[in-house]
Amino acid sequence: MTTQLILASTSKYRRQLLERLRVPFECVAPNVDERALQAKLPSAEPEQIARELARAKAEEVAARYPSAAVIGSDQVCTCDGQILGKPGTAELAIEQLQFLAGKTHRLITAVCVISGNEIEQLRDVTELKMRPLTQGEIERYVAADQPLDCAGSYKLECLGISLFESITSADHTAITGLPLALVAKVLRDLGWNVP
């Protein structure tokens, strides 16, 4: 495949996931104000928010690299009608985990792939049931994993798996930010050699 492949993201997690497919790509930061875009969608469902953010990221980078295939992705964590973003601080991570403890929440991962005039939008929804947690368990977990850049305040690929009773997902890589089974199919359809 001679077309350039770009991941419209600065996320180390998404970069590491896409590297697993062993296709050459580069990362380009999308110039998208996520908060401003989300503010324009105040009554939108979490799935629509994730979809709009993924598409905005892909479109912005595709406008700068029109001959490339561009992958944009976004993830929304939602529970009891609330959207939980990246906490940014240990205090907010602790608050998010206190809120999620003992409940089932959803991680909605949206992907938009733009290649020329083709636009493919994908989504994966994962349901996660967190076990009841003590304050001490929450504080020890946050100190250990530092999940400050993760929606929902946990890293399942690390110690965060110990926080859960059950996880229902069609593609576990979506939990980390990029559903590789879906992305691999789109890339094969576009001509990339993905086994």
Check if the beta carbon of residue 126 is closer than 8 Å to that of residue 109: yes
Is there a catalytic annotation at residue 171? no
Which of 33, 74, 80, 145 is labelled catalytic? 74
Residues with Cβ within 8 Å of residue 62, at least 6 apart in sequence: 8, 68, 70, 114
CA dihedral in degrees (155, 44, 63, 22; nearest 10)? 30
Tokens 């305040």 label which residue? 153
Rounded-to-integer distance, Cα 31 and Cα 79, Å: 28
For β-strands 118-130 and 104-115, DSSP reports them as antiparallel
- Residue 69: how many CB atoms within 10 A of its CB? 24
Both tokens of 118, joined, read 């083709």
DSSP-based helix, strand, coil % in the chain, nearest 5? 40, 25, 35
Please give the C-alpha separations between residue 140 and each of 7, 88, 101, 143, 155, in angstroms, as whole numbers: 34, 17, 14, 5, 14
Catalytic residues: 74
